Structure 1
Amino acid sequence: MSVRDPNPLDSRHPKRVAIVLSSPAISTTTGWPVGFWWSELTHPWLAFRERGYEVVLYSPAGGRCEADSLSDPRDPSRYSDTDLISLGFLSTPKLAALVEATRPVSELSVDGFDAIVVAGGQAPMFTFEKATELQRLFVAFFEAGKVAAALCHGVALLRYARLSSGEALVKGRTVTGFANIEEDFADQAVWEMGALTRGTHLMPWRIEDEMRALGANYVQAGLWRDFAVRDGNLITGQQNFSGAATARLVIEALGG
């Protein structure tokens, strides 16, 4: 007797997911170059590809994207040296090349994809306010009933996402994102390293505070916990350790 897979793959009509990376930027608080976070691309990528999904990379400007250095498992800091998934991605030339040639979001069609996933990193906090086309597309996915997901500081996009009615997309909805306790931890770490003057914050504002101010039910699972939450077709992940959890909820929402 065989057990039927509740989430069967259909190789003839695979699900299609657009992963959006932030374009490179310079932090206005530190002056450092900032970008996306590797694990927030590679961990969802692996989960989706294992399900047979097609995955296409986009960014607001298109072209080459750059990652935050601490997210690279080869970085001398060794901060991410246990991230073997990202190391495998980076060590595979045809995959690493995808980040060199992302498509601009102006070419992203809602009709052509089943889900949009916005990765984090530091750059979204400094670039997504002006990423009006990405804001529009995220809302369009959501209002079309398609899966709209954001992860870690990629949740910054929800600060600017407005429904057709003009109301904040997150109002009355349960979301997560980079938590205040994690911002505190990160600030303290760079102060102790002497990389920033004590009292200077890495981020210009905070996800948790802004989501609450917009009327969202913000939740989190504690410091550096793998955590994501789904509210209908809106999915959010807490931080850089939550790529797998976010992908699982996207797969669940897509029916496998």
Structure 2
Amino acid sequence: MSLKNTNVVNPQSVKKVAIVIANPAISTTTQWPVGFWWSELSHPYYEFMEKGYTVEVFSPNGGKCEADAMSDPNDASGYSSTDLISQGFINTQSLKALVENTKKVAEIDIHAFDAIIVAGGQAPMFNFVDAVDLHKKFVEFYEAGKIAAALCHGVAILKYAKLSNGEYLAKGKTVTGFANVEEDFADNAVWTYNLLPRDKHIMPWRIEDEMKAIGANYIQAGLWKGFAIRDGNLITGQQNFSGAETAKVVIAALGE
């Protein structure tokens, strides 16, 4: 696993990062509306802004995006009630507006950006299959020697990202992403509350299984542990508690 800084942009320049969030979708397994996860946008955004980076927010189709309900600190479930960074983001109108009017991924000029980071949430597992522009753009960043990062279920991009030679980008790479133990935990939670029958799963497929199937070296740090890993200019984060960790690895890779 290489730790060489492969970033090709002037290390003295102000860094610019493209964060990609998923467009809304309807889960084919639960029939629930799904979207991106707030902390996987807000936490990296915070870390990058603390470094003085310029950050722009994109989505595959552009336009208004919706977050998974449980990622909102104000949701009745209380699941994310302690996420003060997301709370601040949501209650700052200029920041929330970034989600309400995202730019299309196809509009990203890779020459103007140092890194791309693909956030997760549940929607990527259902609509990234058709996000062809995102597949291409992610590979363009990687093949240009720039930082290509994905986080949590945003790692779903690696199921579709293939290099110019036809090989999977992640083949032979050490990666992480939402772990099977975490999928099991989530499934058991919805089964316990009778939100799904026990023969149904929240996700149609699993990140860990698919990464292994395409020849990646999948690793994880344990249930709900913040974790990110770099292999060359590919960076991946484990799950929704890994937003800051992922951003910090990106920052280190950019020479900060």
| Shared fold, TM over 0.5 | yes
Corresponding residue for 2:3? none
Corresponding residue for 1:6? none
SS in 1 for 2:130: coil
SS in 2 for 1:142: helix
The TM-score, its normalising length taken from structure 2, stands at 0.95
Note if 1:132 corresponds to 2:132.
yes
Query: How far apart are the structure 2 equivalents of 1:216 and 1:200?
Result: 27
* Aligned structure 1 segments of 4 or more residues deviating by more than 2 angstroms: none
Corresponding residue for 1:142? 142
1:199 Cα deviation from its structure 2 partner = 2.0
1:230 Cα deviation from its structure 2 partner = 0.2
Corresponding residue for 2:163? 163
The TM-score, its normalising length taken from structure 1, stands at 0.95
Say which structure, 1 or 2, has more relative contact order (CA 8 Å, 6+ apart): 2
Q: Which moved more, 1:104-113 or 1:227-236?
A: 104-113
SS in 2 for 1:145: coil
Per-residue deviation, residues 152-196 of structure 1 (Å, max 9, x unmatched): 000000000000000000110000000000000000001111111
The alignment yields a C-alpha RMSD, in angstroms, of 1.0
Per-residue deviation, residues 64-96 of structure 1 (Å, max 9, x unmatched): 000000000000000000100000111111111
SS in 2 for 1:129: helix
Corresponding residue for 2:122? 122
1:198 Cα deviation from its structure 2 partner = 1.3
Note if 1:103 corresponds to 2:103.
yes
Percent same amino acid at aligned positions? 67
Amino acid at match of 2:38: W
Per-residue deviation, residues 20-54 of structure 1 (Å, max 9, x unmatched): 00000000001000000000000000000000000
- Matched residues, number: 246
Per-residue deviation, residues 116-151 of structure 1 (Å, max 9, x unmatched): 000000000001111011000000000000000000
Alignment of 1:40-119 (within 5 A): 40-119=40-119
Query: How far apart are the structure 2 equivalents of 1:124 and 1:219?
Result: 20
Unaligned runs of 5+ in 1: 1-9
SS in 2 for 1:125: helix
SS in 1 for 2:210: helix
